[in-house]
Amino acid sequence: MSSFDFDKAVNDLKNKSAYSFDDFRLIVEVLRHERGCPWDREQTHKSIRKNMIEEAYEAAEAIDTEAPELLCEELGDVMLQTLLHSSISAANGGFCVDDVITGICTKLIVRHPHVFGDITVSSTGEVLSNWEAIKQQTKGNKTAMESIESISSALPALVRAHKIGQKAAKYNFDFASALDALDKAEEEIVELRAAIKEGNYEHIEEEAGDLFLAVVNTARLADVDSEEALHKANKKFCTRFALVEKMATDEGVTLKDKNEEELLEMWEKAKAMTENP
């Protein structure tokens, strides 16, 4: 953003009852101005990297809990990260937020030839197929490995494993079915069991990773999203664990006062209470 009158900007901004995207941009520039906020001014791409991830997850949580007001707030936080990174870059002679917007607009137009071009599609499947083909062309990926390497290594491991499997499948490198992938998972369980008995940490870690990968491929071929499935499993566990703890509390004791057999019995009761009829 070009230079601006700091005092006038502060005055104008604090007296508004509603704001536009341009106001949002100006606020970020005010905060990063030499007379603005020391914290905002000191930030770098790396120092706020984790903030981008956290804000994205908080927005996802708002979606999961179906909280529109919270989602509205969290989307603002996500947008703030985009503006901060753009401002940091521009201050160092790099891209600015206009470049970011131009880039995404150009990408959307190029990857939707059925809307902005003369391509005809008849299904969502064709749209996704065209999107992937155009993506490969624009990224310059010529080999299968280049395609796989283009998947961000910063993604959660389950998400990345799912995407790697999808990419490999496009080159006919895949299990024939979910059941075949499950057979592989069962093989990995045997190998992991042997590694645990052996007691070698590195071997255990390797075999555990192989098992995770096999399970992700099983889920993928069964049209299940591993990240979402694990998210739901975590939520279910927490619900049942809370019930088990309440049972103990109602008896005037803690979970530590219960033996393994009693805990298992309480767990089965909690499980019965939360299972769908």
Residues in the chain: 277
Burial of 83 (0-12, 13-18, 19+ CB in 10 A): buried
The predicted pLDDT at position 165 comes to 96
For residues 178 and 146, the model is more confident at: 178
Residue carrying the six token digits 């071929």: 221
Over residues 44-48, the mean pLDDT reads: 96
Contact 150, 141 (CB under 8 A): yes
Extract the runs of DSSP E, i.e. beta strands, from 74-231: none
Give the pLDDT score at 144.
86
pLDDT at 180: 97
**Quick one: how far is CA 145 from the chain centroid?**
23
Say how far apart CA 87 and CA 95 lie, in whole Å: 8
- Per the model's pLDDT, the better-predicted residue between 127 and 46 turns out to be 46
Does 277 score more than 60 pLDDT? no
pLDDT beyond 60 at 157: yes
Q: Which of 16-20, 143-147, 191-195 has the lowest mean pLDDT?
A: 143-147
**Average pLDDT, stretch 246-269?**
96
pLDDT of residue 234: 95
Q: Please report where in the chains the tokens 């079915």 appear, as a residue.
A: 177
* DSSP letter, residue 118: S
166 alpha carbon, distance to own chain's centre: 17
Q: What are the C-alpha distances in Å from 178 to residues 181, 217, 219, 261, 277?
A: 5, 7, 7, 35, 27
Query: 200 is written with which tokens?
Result: 């070698």
Give percent of the chain with pLDDT exceeding 90: 80
pLDDT digits (tens, 9 = 90+) for 108-119: 998 899 889 888
Q: Is the per-residue pLDDT at 10 higher than 80?
A: yes
Assess whether pLDDT exceeds 70 at residue 145. yes
pLDDT of residue 166: 93
28 Cβ neighbours under 8 A, 6+ residues apart? 40, 80, 83, 84, 87
> What is the structure's pLDDT at 2?
60
Residue 24 has pLDDT above 60, yes or no: yes
Burial status of residue 137 (CB atoms within 10 A of its CB: 0-12, 13-18, 19 or more): exposed
Counts of helices then strands in the chain (DSSP H, E)? 14, 0
Confidence at residue 239, expressed as pLDDT on a 0 to 100 scale? 96
Q: Is the pLDDT score of 136 beyond 80?
A: no
pLDDT at 123 over 90: no
Give the pLDDT score at 146. Answer: 86
pLDDT (0 to 100) of residue 119: 85
6/219 Cα distance (integer angstroms): 55
- How confident is residue 1, by pLDDT bands cut at 50, 70 and 90? low
pLDDT band at 4 (very low <50, low <70, confident <90, very high): confident
CA distance 154 to 149: 12
Tell me the percentage of the chain whose pLDDT exceeds 70.
99
At 62-102, the pLDDT tens digits run: 999 999 999 999 999 999 999 999 999 999 999 999 999 99
Spatial separation of the C-alpha atoms in residues 244 and 266, rounded to whole Å: 6
